[in-house]
């Protein structure tokens, strides 16, 4: 394999690798703005200057391919001076308003200015100013902070498949905007805020709600569809403030859709049912478990399980049926029009899948059949869902039956249930899910659940204990 030398370290290079990637492997961080590993290279910010032996001028590392025998310096005097010059130029028009900027604490411009810029300014010209603009429901633009890196324009064209961001006018008057000032149309708009290296494009849902450095981060998987995009839940004080994509080149690369990004809101909905209910009355868990036993003991029951439950939860329900509800049936439900994984497929050309639940393949792997195979339901039906499975798909099959609900529900969803046993949302539990391509992944607990809700396994264990005890007596 060819080798090159970066800051005195010899390192092997793969064909087509640029100097930024090779340097990273060598433990050398080269500052960038316009370069993003998921977008084409345009080399226009000039932040990634390096010195390459035998080349007369400084080179941009993002657009220079590593080659055999190349000797690269990333910390030489010309490089340091070149980067400082770039920073000075980029900050000519910047308002330097980090204390009131939502990006502060996670801003490349702030970090690179601190690491490579100068503490002094040499100009006192008036800066250009623009007013903030809503670019639709997801993104707010503050053009004063823009450094014209064009990452957003390239994201739209190359990833979201929509040419909606453009640079109009030129020079000092340049403006990054949508065509004709229209609101952003893509269903992947949140990624604009992720990739903008400054506070120019920020998430309206997150703005001014929490400083970035206060957030704790939990690496998990989106439950929004069967794609299984990797994401991070960012939270503080047991409250989720935002979800952002995590790189997984095999599944979602660097991106996630807005539906998945904002899906977590239902878990914090003030109308989420958090205490057991018998009809409209709130009851304690002791009574709730007794009611569950009274309604199900010794009977054959139809169990409908959401394909939004984890493998562990589904397997627990199967074991419970085998041990305590012999002769009962179990079927999965999730998305209208997607009964089985053969009905699943791409919902768009980017990431979204038709199945709006995360574990359809997992339910099938456990041998659970779809609700479309349910012929006649028993008089009592137990519906267990994680929170994402479409209740209407289950309920239209079991109209007029006595319903017991377990899992996550909102007030408006429980009017037809006789008994509701509130459970854990995907943000509050650990478990395994299997995506549409058969890739097994783990979801992680980010939030400590309220002590009035219980895991499916705990509810079934309490019910089993009660049955066992009463059998002895
Ligand atoms: S808005 Fe952000 S991503 Fe777009 S060009 Fe400006 S700095 Fe770059
Ligand atoms: S494509 Fe699916 S898994 Fe990925 S972020 Fe969107 S909803 Fe979540
Ligand atoms: S990151 Fe290389 S020129 Fe912008």
Calculate how far, in angstroms, residue 200's C-alpha sits from the geometric centre of ligand 1. Answer: 6
Judged against a pLDDT cut of 90, whether residue 159 lies above it is answered with yes
For residue 468, what pLDDT is reported?
76
Judged against a pLDDT cut of 90, whether residue 308 lies above it is answered with yes
Q: What is the mean pLDDT of residues 134-149?
A: 97
Q: Out of 3.40.50.740, 3.40.50.720, 3.40.50.40, 3.40.1670.10, select the CATH number for domain 277-472.
A: 3.40.50.740
Please state whether beta strands 71-73 and 3-6 pair in parallel, antiparallel, or not at all (unpaired): parallel
The segment(s) of the chain belonging to CATH 3.10.20.740 are 3-90
Across the chain, mean pLDDT equals 96
47 lines ligand 3 (CB under 6 A): yes
Cβ atoms of 125 and 93 closer than 8 Å: no
Structure token digits, residue 190: 């949140």
Residue to mutate, 108, 151, 168, 190, ligand 1, most ligand atoms under 8 Å from C-beta: 151
Lowest mean pLDDT among 121-130, 213-222, 462-471: 462-471
Calculate how far, in angstroms, residue 34's C-alpha sits from the geometric centre of ligand 1. Answer: 9
pLDDT class of 172 with cuts at 50, 70, 90: confident
For residue 469, what pLDDT is reported?
76
Calculate how far, in angstroms, residue 202's C-alpha sits from the geometric centre of ligand 1. Answer: 10
Residues in CB range of 117: below 8 A, 6 or more apart: 84, 87, 88, 91
The segment(s) of the chain belonging to CATH 3.40.50.740 are 277-472
Sole residue written with tokens 């409908």: 304
Ligand 3 atom at shortest distance from the alpha carbon of 32: 1
Integer Cα distance of 121 and 356 in angstroms: 53
Question: 180 phi and psi, to 5 degrees?
Answer: 60, 20
Exposed, middle or buried by CB within 10 Å (0-12, 13-18, 19+), for 75? exposed
Q: For 45-100, what is each residue's pLDDT tens digit? A: 999 999 999 999 999 999 999 999 999 999 999 999 999 999 999 999 999 899 99
Judged against a pLDDT cut of 70, whether residue 193 lies above it is answered with yes
pTM, rounded to two decimals? 0.96
Using a 6 Å CB cutoff, which residues line ligand 2? 222, 224-225, 227-229, 252, 256-257, 259-260, 351-353
What are the CA-CA distances from residue 106 to residues 34, 194, 224 (Å)? 16, 10, 26
Which residue's CA is the nearest one to ligand 1's atom 6? Answer: 146
Judged against a pLDDT cut of 70, whether residue 473 lies above it is answered with no
- CATH says 3-90 is which class? alpha beta
Taking each helix axis as running N to C, give the angle between helix 311-324 and helix 456-472, from 0 to 180 degrees, rounded to the nearest 10: 10
> Quick one: DSSP state of residue 158?
I
149 lines ligand 1 (CB under 6 A): yes
CA 467 remoteness from chain centre: 41
Q: Evaluate the CA torsion angle 191, 194, 200, 202 in order and state its sign.
A: positive
For residue 456, what pLDDT is reported?
97
Q: For 25-45, what is each residue's pLDDT tens digit? A: 999 999 999 999 999 999 999
For residue 125, what pLDDT is reported?
87
For residue 471, what pLDDT is reported?
66
């Amino acid at each position: 394999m060819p080798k090159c030398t970066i800051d005195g370290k010899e390192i092997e290079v793969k064909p087509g690798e640029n100097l930024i990637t090779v340097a990273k492997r060598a433990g050398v961080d080269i500052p960038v703005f316009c370069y993003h590993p998921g977008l084409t290279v345009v080399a226009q910010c000039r932040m990634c200057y390096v010195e390459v032996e035998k080349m007369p001028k400084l080179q941009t590392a993002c657009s220079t391919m590593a080659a055999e025998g190349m000797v690269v310096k990333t910390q030489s005097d010309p490089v340091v001076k070149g980067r400082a010059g770039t920073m000075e130029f980029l900050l000519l028009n910047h308002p330097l308003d980090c204390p009131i900027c939502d990006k502060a604490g996670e801003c490349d411009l702030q970090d690179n200015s601190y690491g490579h810029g100068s503490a002094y300014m040499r100009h006192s010209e008036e800066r250009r100013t623009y007013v903030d603009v809503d670019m639709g429901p997801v993104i707010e633009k503050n053009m004063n902070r823009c450094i014209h890196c064009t990452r957003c324009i390239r994201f739209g064209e190359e990833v979201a498949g929509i040419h909606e961001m453009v640079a109009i006018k030129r020079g000092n008057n340049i403006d990054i905007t949508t065509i004709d000032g229209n609101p952003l149309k893509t269903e992947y708009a949140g990624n604009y805020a992720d990739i903008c290296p400054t506070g120019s494009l920020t998430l309206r849902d997150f703005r001014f709600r929490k400083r970035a450095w206060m957030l704790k981060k939990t690496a998990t998987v989106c439950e929004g569809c069967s794609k299984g995009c990797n994401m991070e839940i960012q939270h503080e004080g047991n409250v989720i403030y935002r979800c952002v994509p995590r790189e997984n080149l095999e599944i979602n690369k660097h991106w996630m859709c807005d539906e998945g990004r904002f899906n977590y809101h239902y878990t914090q909905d003030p109308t989420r049912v958090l205490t057991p209910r018998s009809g409209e009355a709130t009851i304690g868990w002791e009574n709730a478990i007794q009611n569950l036993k009274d309604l199900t003991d010794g009977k054959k029951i139809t169990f409908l399980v959401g394909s939004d439950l984890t493998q562990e939860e589904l397997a627990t329900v199967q074991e419970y049926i085998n041990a305590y509800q012999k002769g009962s049936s179990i079927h999965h439900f999730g998305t209208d029009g997607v009964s089985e994984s053969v009905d699943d497929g791409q919902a768009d050309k980017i990431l979204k899948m038709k199945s709006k639940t995360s574990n359809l393949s997992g339910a099938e792997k456990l041998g659970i059949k779809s609700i479309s195979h349910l012929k006649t339901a028993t008089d009592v039906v137990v519906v267990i869902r994680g929170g994402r499975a479409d209740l209407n798909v289950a309920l239209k099959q079991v109209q007029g039956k006595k319903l017991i609900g377990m899992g996550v529900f909102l007030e408006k969803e429980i009017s037809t249930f006789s008994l509701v046993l509130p459970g854990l949302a995907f943000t509050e539990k650990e478990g395994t899910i299997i995506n549409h391509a058969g890739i097994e992944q783990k979801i992680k607990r980010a939030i400590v659940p309220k002590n009035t809700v219980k895991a499916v396994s705990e509810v079934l264990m309490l019910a089993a204990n009660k049955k066992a005890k009463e059998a002895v007596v």
